C-alpha cells in the first residue's frame, strides 16, 4: 500500500470518529432546549438509539417509565414520529413559560351543578 493511502484512510477514520463523538456528546447533553431546536431533517437522519434517547430525554407526558424502557422494541417509523412529537412538546414547553414538564396527568375537571 502507498503511504499516502494509509494516512488518508487514517485521517478519514479520525474525522469520522470525531464526528461520531461530537454527535454522541450532543445526544448525551440533550435538554429541553436542544430537543426543541432539532430540525425534522436531523431527526430523520438519526439512528434508532439516538431517537430513543431523544424521546426519553423529552419526558413526554403520556409515556410512563415502563413504556420508555420498551422504546427500543418499536420500529423506526414509530420512533421518528415520537421524536418529532417530542420536539414539538419541548418547543411548546420552552416557548410557553409555566407549562408542565415531565410525566404529568391531566385530570378531568368536574363541575358542581
36-56, pLDDT tens digit by residue? 999 999 999 999 999 999 999
Q: d(Cα 64, Cα 8) in Å, to the nearest integer?
A: 48
15 or 7, which is more confident? 15
Write down the pLDDT at residue 46: 93
Q: How far apart are CA 79 and CA 105, in angstroms?
A: 22
Alpha helices in the chain (DSSP H): 3-28, 32-36, 40-45, 48-58, 65-69, 76-95
Q: Is 87 helix (H, G, I), strand (E, B) or coil?
A: helix
Specify the DSSP class assigned to residue 107.
Answer: P
Amino acid at each position: 500500500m502507498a503511504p499516502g493511502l494509509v494516512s488518508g484512510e487514517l485521517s478519514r477514520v479520525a474525522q469520522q470518529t470525531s464526528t461520531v463523538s461530537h454527535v454522541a456528546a450532543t445526544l448525551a447533553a440533550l435538554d429541553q432546549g436542544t430537543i426543541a431546536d432539532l430540525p425534522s431533517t436531523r431527526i430523520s437522519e438519526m439512528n434508532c438509539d439516538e431517537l430513543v434517547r431523544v424521546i426519553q430525554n423529552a419526558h413526554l407526558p403520556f409515556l410512563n417509565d415502563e413504556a420508555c424502557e420498551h422504546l427500543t422494541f418499536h420500529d423506526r417509523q414509530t420512533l421518528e414520529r415520537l421524536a418529532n412529537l417530542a420536539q414539538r412538546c419541548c418547543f411548546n414547553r420552552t416557548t410557553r413559560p409555566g407549562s408542565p414538564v415531565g410525566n404529568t396527568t391531566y385530570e378531568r375537571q368536574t363541575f358542581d351543578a
